């Protein structure tokens, strides 16, 4: 009986996640219609900012919140922001579009104080050594390395990968929690500015290279 209740709770949780993600997608389209229109024919640099995380697991929703706020900003036309949440397959197919730079935004536990921000250019050797089992994408969780592994297995290419991460506070319940902790919430605005500065820096580097 206890297992049946737990299974029902899991199903209900996944349904709530899907409903929230659909609502977020609708808000993204209404506030920034161009974010849903890829332009693979464009010769200019293309940057994907991918918000990642589960909004029902406390600070794991950091990436989604940063993406939501970035969508409200006026970003350069070369940058596209998508809140992928836990939709690993959607991220995989987006990466197949061949972006020049992908910036993942995600909760990143590294042992620092909660709210600490990191800018990381990850070692992708694990992707090269990933077997079929390691590429399995879970429907209730998101591991961007698995998405990258799927892209590679499908013959796609990914170029430069960056990660803007935030140290999460420990989740004090097994049942999950909506909303960010105070230190992580306070870091969201700084993370938005950090992503914007990375976009600016990347575009400036591209312009210098083009005119050299």
Residues 94-119: tens digit of each pLDDT: 988 889 999 999 999 999 999 999 99
Q: Is residue 84 in some structural domain? A: yes
Cα angle 145, 148, 152; round to 5: 140
Q: Is residue 41 in some structural domain? A: no
Residue 153: domain span: 2-35+47-211
pTM summary value: 0.74
Q: Is residue 168 in some structural domain? A: yes
Structure token pair of residue 18: 């899907």
Across the chain, the runs of DSSP E, i.e. the strands, are 47-52, 79-85, 101-107, 117-120, 160-166
φ/ψ of 153, rounded to 5, equals -65, -30
Instruction: Summarize pLDDT for 154-165 with one digit per residue, the tens.
Output: 887 778 999 999
Q: Is residue 42 in some structural domain? A: no
> Which residue numbers in the chain have pLDDT < 70?
1-43, 126-142
CA distance 40 to 153: 21
Residue 147 confidence (pLDDT): 81
CATH number, residue 9: 3.40.50.1450
Number of domains in the chain: 1
- Report helix angle 62-71 to 182-211, nearest 10: 60
Residue 150: which of 137, 169, 168 has the closest Cα? 137
Q: Is residue 40 in some structural domain? A: no
CA distance 26 to 38: 17
Residue 26 confidence (pLDDT): 52
């Amino acid at each position: 009986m206890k297992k049946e209740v737990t299974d029902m709770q899991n199903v209900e949780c996944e349904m709530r996640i899907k409903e929230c993600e659909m609502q977020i997608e609708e808000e993204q389209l209404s506030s920034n219609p161009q974010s849903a229109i890829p332009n693979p024919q464009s010769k200019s640099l293309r940057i994907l900012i991918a918000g990642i995380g589960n909004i029902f697991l406390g600070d794991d929703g950091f990436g989604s919140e940063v993406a939501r706020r970035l969508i409200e900003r006026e970003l350069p036309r070369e940058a596209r922001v998508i809140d992928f949440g836990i939709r690993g397959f959607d991220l995989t197919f987006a990466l197949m579009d061949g972006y020049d730079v992908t910036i993942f935004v995600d909760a990143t536990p590294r042992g620092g104080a909660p709210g600490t921000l990191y800018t990381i250019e990850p070692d992708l050797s694990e992707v090269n050594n990933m077997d079929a089992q390691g590429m399995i994408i879970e429907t209730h969780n998101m591991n961007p390395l698995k998405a990258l592994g799927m892209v590679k297995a499908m013959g796609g290419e990914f170029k430069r990968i960056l990660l803007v991460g935030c140290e999460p506070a420990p989740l004090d319940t097994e049942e999950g929690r909506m909303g960010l902790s105070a230190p992580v919430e306070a870091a969201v605005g700084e993370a938005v500015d950090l992503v914007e500065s990375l976009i600016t820096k990347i575009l400036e580097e591209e312009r210098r290279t083009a005119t050299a």
